[in-house]
Amino acid sequence: MNTQLLSIALDVILLPLVGSLIAGFFGKIIGKRATHTIAIALVGIAFVMATYLFKMIVLNGQPAEEGVVYTWMQSGAFQFDVSLLLDRLSATMICIVTFVSLAVHIYTVGYMADDPGYQRFFCYVSLFTFAMLILVLANNLLIMFFGWEGVGLVSYLLIGFWFKRESAVFGSLKAFLANRVGDIGFILAIAVTLTYFGHLDYHTIFAHIPDVMGKTISIFSGGPSSVITVICVLLFIGAMGKSAQVPLHVWLPESMEGPTPISALIHAATMVTAGIYMVARMSPLFEYSEAALTLVLMLGATTCLFMGLLAVFNQDIKRVIAYSTISQLGYMTVALGASAYDAAIFHLVTHAFFKALLFLAAGSVILGMHHEQDMRKMGGLARYMPVTYLTFFIGALSLSAIPPFAGFYSKDSIIEAVRLCHIPGGTYAYFCVLAGAFITPLYIFRALFLTFHGKPRMDEETRRHVKESRWVILIPLLALAVPSIIAGGILVGPMLFWKPLLLGNSIFVLPEHDVLARLAPEFQGARMMAIHASQTLAFWLSLAGIVTAWAFSLRYTHVADQLKKRFSWLYAIMMDKYGFDDFNQLVFVRGSRKLGNFFYHVTDLIIIDGIFVNGSGKLIRWFARVARQVQSGYVYHYTFAMITGLLVFLGWLLLGH
């Protein structure tokens, strides 16, 4: 580590690790208060340091820095280093990660106060932050993969935190296995990259792209494929697992079995955005593979639309927000496929604020309702929980892209970028993101109206005890509400349109793919963008979504019931979640069990045990039984055998000559 900034970056990584170790090994000894004080203080210091790094690299314009912490391994010509990269993209990401993590740490003090696993939870949350920071600050694919696997492992522990619940165990295992499917793609991408580029650090890979562009690799009999396309597709398979893109999205709703603070941490700025960050980081590779960009665009658009529809039909307040996360990740993925990488990171940033806000506000509601999550048993909570209601309302407006809230600037930029992109599949993607503009406010305002408006639908005992949450829970909500309002207007110009861009040269786009450059002449500032929102179709679709949610949730509830009966087949499909879970259970779970039973009964019992193990013993016993018959003890038997052997030998000699 040669520079002061890189040393500070290393400290940012290590501080949450120290907090995790203290909470894990000494939490029971030092007690709850000391545990959360130390963990929060260390993450808070990390956030302050990350803010300083952001100021120096992004605002003051210091050049990107990278350095080797130590050499991990050397094998022949290959050297694998633990090294860091501090540039505009990583500096922005560590600010978001540490800020959301700090808010979640503070919120946890109130939410998990009575949980017997209090210290263990702080250990896991700090460890999760450590792994995510490694992923973001790595300067090569191998160290990124270390952080990648770290967040996957700790998410398994956090989702299954209440391990005595069968549903929590199932959800954590499902998340772990679904992510391993994506990780296979990432591992293969690393292998192919090392084979053809001879190195895994980003700058070396990007510098040798011209040398590899013409090379092909044969995977299937259909013919050779571009090496760069193969690497990009494999990388995106890894991103599909972490960022919950269809069909590897199935784990994310199940992760709601974990405590609400970790739902906010996983689904806002950390684990689920790892795939988005990885594709943006590898933009110089993706830019040279239109086939890979098309795949990214199409799958992102499909995820955006169809996962948003599932949120409309869900009754669990946390699962509504979970499906919303999948849909918003679809928006980010669409932006990546359209080569609007800066817009994808911009939406990642704004989404981190308003989605963490929505999750933590939902957690406040769940606490007030004594851990009830069914919105059909809520209603009228605005009068009992006004601060929670206000913050949830702010988050809903930002998610729905209503100006001037943060989500408006990032989502509207993505929609306009997709409109201008010429990547194959662009028309389909544009339809999906426009439809999503209507569906998003429909499901989130349906949740808001069912939860906070109308007549109370809870039982009398619950209603008497409903009250606003403690300030230790409300302070993080208020802290997240502020950037959910103003962050979009502040960042839209520097991140997307003004030169030099906030992310600078950490993102690479070919001139023919640069849709944001085509949008730049139309940008006249954040204020004018908000004023002119009424001229866009997306804005009116958002308003229509809010009105529809109000009508079906509060005013004309009988119409919703009639539509449910009339289109029962469609309702059944939505309740079945398009059959993804059933397919996985039937094909992969039951199929693997049947395959395992086949190998056990046929391969293990019949072939290995029956033939090789028991068969060899039976063969020896048979041979011994036959041999015993020869050893009779009678001289004439032995004489007969000798004469027979002599005749055979003589016959062989005669026939041989």
Helix (H) or strand (E) holding 224: strand 224-226
- Does the pLDDT at position 657 exceed 60? no
Q: How far is CA 643 from the centre of its chain?
A: 83
Cα 188–Cα 189–Cα 192 angle in degrees, nearest 5: 85
Average pLDDT, the chain: 87
pLDDT of residue 178: 86
Compute the half-sphere exposure of residue 228: CA atoms within 13 Å on the CB side of its CA: 21
Phi, psi of 259 (to 5 degrees): -60, 150
pLDDT of residue 354: 92
Which one, of 578, 594, 597, lies nearest residue 586 by Cα? 594
For residues 471-496, one letter each, b for 16 or more C-beta atoms within 10 angstroms of the residue's C-beta and e for the rest, the string is: eebbebbebbbebbbebbbebbbbbb
Strand-pair partners of 218: 224
pLDDT of residue 647: 84
Selected residue with higher pLDDT from 372 and 449: 449
End-to-end alpha carbon distance in the chain = 86
Phi, psi of 20 (to 5 degrees): -65, -45
pLDDT of residue 222: 63
CB distance 374 to 321 below 8 Å: no
Task: Give the C-alpha separation, 520 to 496, whole Å.
Answer: 8
Q: State mean pLDDT over 182-188.
A: 92
Compute the half-sphere exposure of residue 206: CA atoms within 13 Å on the CB side of its CA: 17
- Does the pLDDT at position 176 exceed 90? no
pLDDT of residue 542: 93
Selected residue with higher pLDDT from 563 and 316: 316
Torsion of Cα atoms, 289 then 424 then 401 then 391, to 10°: -50
Which one, of 537, 523, 516, 526, lies nearest residue 404 by Cα? 526
pLDDT of residue 173: 87
- Lowest-confidence segment of 5-9, 43-47, 125-129, 617-621 by average pLDDT: 617-621
Q: Find where tokens 């289109």 sit.
A: 567
DSSP tag of 146: H
pLDDT over 90, % of the chain: 40
DSSP H helices in 62-165: 88-111, 118-137, 141-159
Copy the structure tokens of residue 469.
């949450």
- Lowest-confidence segment of 308-312, 451-455, 515-519, 644-648 by average pLDDT: 644-648
Selected residue with higher pLDDT from 555 and 313: 313
pLDDT of residue 2: 52
DSSP H helices in 466-505: 471-492
Rg over alpha carbons for the chain, rounded to the nearest Å, is: 30
pLDDT interval class at 177 (50, 70, 90): confident
Task: Give the C-alpha separation, 255 to 266, whole Å.
Answer: 9
Q: Is 601 exposed, middle or buried (0-12, 13-18, 19+ CB in 10 A)?
A: exposed
pLDDT of residue 524: 86
DSSP tag of 316: B
Q: State mean pLDDT over 399-415.
A: 92
Q: State mean pLDDT over 163-171.
A: 85
pLDDT of residue 226: 87
Residues 527-542 pLDDT 10s: 888 898 888 899 999 9
pLDDT of residue 600: 81
Q: State mean pLDDT over 4-26.
A: 92
CB distance 135 to 151 below 8 Å: yes
pLDDT of residue 328: 93
CB distance 501 to 342 below 8 Å: yes
Which one, of 105, 126, 128, lies nearest residue 20 by Cα? 126
Task: Give the C-alpha separation, 647 to 461, whole Å.
Answer: 105
Task: Give the C-alpha separation, 218 to 160, whole Å.
Answer: 41
CB distance 151 to 270 below 8 Å: yes
Residues 290-307 pLDDT 10s: 999 999 999 999 999 999
pLDDT of residue 379: 84
Residues 491-526 pLDDT 10s: 998 888 887 678 888 898 998 988 988 988 888 888
pLDDT interval class at 268 (50, 70, 90): low
